[in-house]
A and B are shown apart, each in its own frame.
Chain A
Amino acid sequence: MSSSSTTTTTTRLLMLKASDGVTFEVEEAVATKLGAINNMVEEEGSEDLICLPNVNGKFLGMVLEWCKKHANNNTNSDKGNDEVNKWWDKEFVMDLDQNTLYHLLMAADYLSGTELVDLLTEKVASMIRGKKVEEIRETFKIKSDFLPGQEEEIRKKNSWAFE
């Protein structure tokens, strides 16, 4: 805590640069909704350009859009706003295609946006809950590494879940 007294009234702006060179100018209060950015700001001050080589402009833009909504509504937190946010979140994830969803999730995870990760993972879960094992392997490109017979044994234990 130093003697800076300017932060209370004026909002500071941060420059974020995505992997494809696209830059975003956002208010500090918005960007610090992301744990990774918050850490950098707290550790080293916030006047500089922050490079994010693992996120491209499209997804960074979407992540920041989410941050903006949630940073604004946090200032006056009452129950009505909670409801509004929930609706907004629902709309936000409603029409995302799989590809966008997974890239967005990776971006949110990389930037430590915990609440956004929760929202996205819940959405992924709702999309895969009824899938078959083979479909899961295909979607996530996972290879079965069970020894012969092992998989059958697991299936047998809970055969009703496969019906």
Chain B
Amino acid sequence: MENGDQEPPRKRFKTLSTGNIEQERAQFELSMTDFTEILSWLPVESLLRFKSVCKEWCSLIETEYFIQKHMSQVTPISLKDNKFQSIKARSFSILYVSDGLLLEKDFAHQNYRLRNPATHQVIYLPNPCLDGILHRGFEFDFNPSTGEGRLVCECLEMDMSRFLAVDKGLKLLNVGRDRSWKFLRRPMWEGKGQVEVVRAYDVDPMRDGEIHFVRIICSENQLSLDVLSFDVRREYIAINTLPKGVFSDFSKGVFPFWWDNRLAVADIIEEGLHVMVLEKYRNQCRWSWSRNKTVIPLRFLGGNIYQKEELVPLEATKKELWFRYGRDLKVCYDMKIEKITQTIALKTNHALEYRPSLRTLRGMRPEHFKERRRIIKREKMDVDQLQQLLGGL
């Protein structure tokens, strides 16, 4: 700051304002902000108990802000951990973990359920009827503005004549609301006559309720790039074909990655990253490709340190662009100063973590001991039946 002539004479003393804390009361009173901080470190069990301290604590613990803050601070448990083994239910296998919820399947009875082991809550789900269809994993989306949770899985069908798995579409369930899974058929790929998928990329995982599948398609000896985009919250599916001529050569492949939480595809041409972003405006269903290519200069490729072939873009935020480099490194490129600022070891898959949370969904009920007993009983029955069967042989 400049010292202009008009500036009033400097005060000799400065006092940090007392705010609205009255000094006498300040004797022993913590503010609600302090309590929010303290409570956010507590395990779920203590929080469920402390909901009955007073109304203010009760409503705080139920807010989305607090649930997310708590989840971000909690120490995650690895799925291989002994601690985790005790959370597992006996007859169920875990298919997917997200937001402190476990998607479990009882293979003997084809029961699906979502369970929060930390709050002892559960909801049984309708069967997605995946018999005869291959399916590729489940994804879960929680929409904080509506409080709704949705499960999605990708459906594939085996084309026996070519020994190829062909994607058919997606199955979707609004947890606690839908009585059955909805099937959303995939629209046709662009192109005429025989259309073949040459290359398939999965961009994982879901972001803000959007899933994208990037495919390079061959039709009449011409390659094109199609993105199958799925808006889970609006239950809308579309194919977005990249305009012709944007990238001259698809044969080497492209790099799909996240650009400011939107899907982008890129290619590294000489010393530049050429990016096309799939834009979507708020309150709109449809996506559209950015008008122009963005070119990020990567001058560090000019030196002899980094090899172009080892570089794979992972994610871009406003200023930072992260690459995977080789097998086990992650480098951060600052797009403003055009320099590599960080190099760190690539973390192993953290999808194999469980974070105990307060997350609850519509229709979730306490996991009663009675119910547990019933499951155990049923297990026993199965053993009895099996023995009978064996005895009969």
Contact = CB atoms under 8 A, between A and B. Distances in A.
Chains A and B come from one and the same complex: yes
Interface of A: 2, 19, 36-37, 40, 44-45, 47-54, 99, 102, 105-106, 109-111, 117-118, 121-122, 124-126, 128-133, 136-137, 140-146, 151, 154-155, 157-158, 160-162
Q: Which 5 pairs across A and B sit closest by C-beta, in order of nearness? A: A125-B41, A121-B37, A158-B48, A161-B48, A51-B15
Given A117-B37, A125-B41, A53 B15 contact: yes
A48 B14 contact: yes
Most buried by A among B2, B10, B52: B52
Most chain B beta-carbon contacts within 10 A, residue among A102, A106, A118: A106
Contacts of B37: 117-118, 121
B30 interface: yes
B16 A145 contact: no
A102 B37 CA distance: 13
A114 B71 CA distance: 19
B34 interface: yes
Given A48-B12, A121-B37, A53 B49 contact: no
A40 B1 contact: no
A109 B31 contact: yes
Given A48-B11, A48-B14, A136-B53, 14 more contacts: A40-B16, A45-B10, A48-B12, A109-B33, A121-B41, A125-B42, A128-B38, A132-B49, A141-B28, A142-B54, A144-B54, A145-B56, A158-B120, A161-B45
B16 A162 contact: no
A122 B73 CA distance: 10
Nearest to A40: B14
B53 A54 contact: no
Nearest to A132: B49
Interface stretch (B17-25, B126-134, B190-198, B237-245): B17-25
A99 B30 CA distance: 12
A98 to B, nearest CB: 10
Interface of B: 1-2, 10-16, 18-19, 21, 23, 26, 28-31, 33-35, 37-43, 45-46, 48-58, 119-120, 366
Quick one: which of B19, B34, B120 has the most chain A CB within 10 A? B34
Contacts of A54: 16, 18-19, 21, 23, 26
A124 B34 CA distance: 10
Given A48-B11, A121-B41, A124-B38, A137 B16 contact: no
Given A102-B30, A118-B37, A50 B53 contact: no
A133 B16 contact: no
A139 to B, nearest CB: 10
Select the residue from B2, B23, B37, B51 with max chain A CB neighbours within 10 A: B37
26 contacts: A48-B13, A48-B14, A49-B12, A50-B15, A51-B13, A52-B16, A53-B18, A102-B30, A105-B30, A106-B30, A106-B31, A109-B33, A111-B16, A117-B34, A121-B38, A121-B40, A125-B40, A131-B46, A132-B49, A133-B50, A136-B53, A144-B52, A146-B54, A158-B48, A158-B49, A160-B120
B367 to A, nearest CB: 9
